Amino acid sequence: MSTATLSKDTFGIDQVLKQLGIGTQNYGASTGTKHLETKGPRIDSFSPVNGELIGSANAATAADYELVVKTAEEAFKIWRNVPAPKRGEMVRQMGDQLRKYKDPLGKLVSYEMGKSLQEGLGEVQEMIDICDFAVGLSRQLYGLTMHSERPQHRMYEQYHPLGIVGIISAFNFPVAVWSWNAMLAWVCGDVCIWKPSSKTPLCAIACQNIIADVLKKNDVPEGVSCLLLGNPVGDLMNNDKRVPMVSFTGSTRIGRIVSESVARRFGKSILELGGNNAIIVSEHSDLSMVLVGAVFGAVGTAGQRCTSTRRLIIHESIYDKTIQVLKSAYGQLKIGNPLDANNHVGPLIDKKAVDDYLTAIERAKEEGGKMVVEGGVVAGDGYESCCYVKPCIVEAKNNFHIVQEETFAPILYVMKYKTIEEAIDMQNGVPQGLSSSIFTNNMREMEAFLSASGSDCGIANVNIGTSGAEIGGAFGGEKETGGGRESGSDAWKAYMRRQTNTINYGSKLPLAQGIHFNI
């Protein structure tokens, strides 16, 4: 598994940074085309690929935050009155810009976050796709018309923009999740303030640089697209009544704090929190399909997707055969430089993630887990960042405390079941409720899994894995996953306020419910 020592020069990252307008020292705040020279604590971005410093930025201060919010408030007064199709046209142009910069941005995502280059490019493609979706949506912000019980009255409902939408994104999808929120919010007439993960700040700066020309070309007011770096910014937004909506992606622990803070001031929140996703492997499944879905789901992005496969619930009659197939596949995995297409598994985001991975394995063993495929840290030339680990498989029970938790690492827990009802109960028997899957060619099992008494997750798939989603469908989950929905379908409604309107075009004023009020 050893590879040659890696450096930025190996990947041409210096050229990528130049293309994306990123220097050694970068700004920590922006209102669109204008950058603020912030003086908060320095944020250094190190690549988990090789441990090298990519660049730095100073975090935003409370004064910077105040300036950005005031600018966003003024921008909203203008932006909300721009016709939605015109707002959609701006988003269309952003999609074109992202197409132009797909290769360098995808490479930066891979290098700064550690996911494979294919996945980095795929994440930028998600951004392009949501732009296309939002353009169509800009002409489809529909409300219903209702018949009134009163003569010569008309009732209908319409949707208006909320105002400032705060977007707090996570390191594992450093650009796509922002776009899921921002593109929809913009066509809805909102303005956005983005607080990206401090582990991947340069990807966010790159996005702001990419869209700056579009903002300038369309005379979009400063404040429609804002960026603020630094963890304290999140707390400021969560407690700010001027920010009616906060979309948060991250851990359940932090999500609970965000939810309580926003709810305390009667704000709205979209929460995309932890996942503990399972695949049920039926005796009626096609094991060749299971292999692809389970292995990519468990080891793709080094297990750092919220939709990563954490548990494999296998029918007892094919358990041993399935384990043998998995062991063979794991034995062929190549770990190393994620920008090399020959490798399957890149690094974890940082050394803390590695520690969490090792701790989870030890806890699983302490609870009685049996190692099916051993884990461990990979060392040697090419692994100087100390962030590369071996994907492992652990035979476990669903009620193990560690199995009930989400560990952001390539650890797959395997377990047996006898009946489909038992399997569904095991699938549902965790606090999280994001993604789920069953592999089966039995129609009754499919329908049982998708029924009201089946999977309790926001995403339920048949004969595909838990990982990966298309922008056409709403993304999100239940229980401790937070209940939020982003991206496709009617997720746009979360970024707007609903208003019911009644118009009396007659010459009398009858009251509803037949009430008479004589004066």
Kindly list the catalytic residues. Answer: 272, 306
Residue 300 corresponds to which amino acid? G
Please give the Cα distance from 430 to 278 (Å, whole number). 10
Contact call for residues 260 and 482 (beta carbons, < 8 A): no
Rounded distance, CA 393 to CA 327, Å?
A: 8
For the chain, the C-alpha Rg in angstroms (whole number) is: 25
Q: Which tokens go with 19?
A: 């293309």
Environment class of 352 (CB within 10 Å of its CB; exposed 0-12, middle 13-18, buried 19+): exposed
Helix and strand counts by DSSP (H, E) for the chain: 15, 24
Distance CA 114, CA 320 (A): 33
- Please, which residues bridge with residue 156 across strands? 145, 501
Q: Are residues 406 and 170 in contact, defined by beta-carbon separation less than 8 angstroms?
A: no
Nearest alpha-carbon partner for 482 in 295, 326, 315, 270: 270
Would you say 108 and 203 are in contact if contact means Cβ atoms under 8 Å apart? yes
Tokens representing 254? 């932090």
The contacts of residue 234 (CB under 8 Å, 6+ apart) are 168, 195, 248, 258
Which residues is 478 bridged to in the sheet?
A: 433
